[in-house]
């Protein structure tokens, strides 16, 4: 029986940016895009949330 590592994968900012763009433009669910890219759904959702904030939108854009 194998254990999952407690260390998380690190992704380059450019990879995250491309993943966010794909998720926004594909018309597919976040889960589908995450599965295609072999990243966690929660991770991709976090990248999307951060990208929204970085664009000056969302809850932290006051």
Q: Could you read off the pLDDT of 1-56 as tens digits, one per residue? A: 555 555 667 999 999 999 999 999 999 999 999 999 999 999 999 999 999 999 99
Q: Is 15 helix (H, G, I), strand (E, B) or coil?
A: helix
On whether residue 32 sits in a domain, the answer given is: yes
On whether residue 1 sits in a domain, the answer given is: no
On whether residue 7 sits in a domain, the answer given is: no
Identify the CA nearest to 14 among candidates 51, 52, 56, 57. Answer: 51
Q: How many domains are there within the chain?
A: 1
The structure's pTM equals: 0.78
Name 11's Cβ contacts closer than 8 Å, sequence gap at least 6. 19, 39
On whether residue 26 sits in a domain, the answer given is: yes
Check whether 62 has a pLDDT greater than 70: no
Q: How far apart are CA 8 and CA 2, in angstroms?
A: 16
On whether residue 61 sits in a domain, the answer given is: no
Boundaries of domain holding 18: 13-54
Helices (H), 1-62: 13-25, 30-37, 41-54
The CB density around residue 19, as the number of other CB atoms within 10 Å, is: 22
């Amino acid at each position: 029986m194998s254990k999952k590592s407690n260390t998380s994968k690190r992704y380059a900012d450019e990879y995250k940016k491309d993943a966010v763009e794909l998720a926004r433009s594909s018309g597919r669910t976040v889960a589908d895009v995450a599965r295609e890219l072999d990243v966690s759904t929660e991770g991709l959702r976090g990248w999307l949330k951060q990208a929204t904030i970085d664009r000056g939108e969302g809850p932290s854009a006051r």
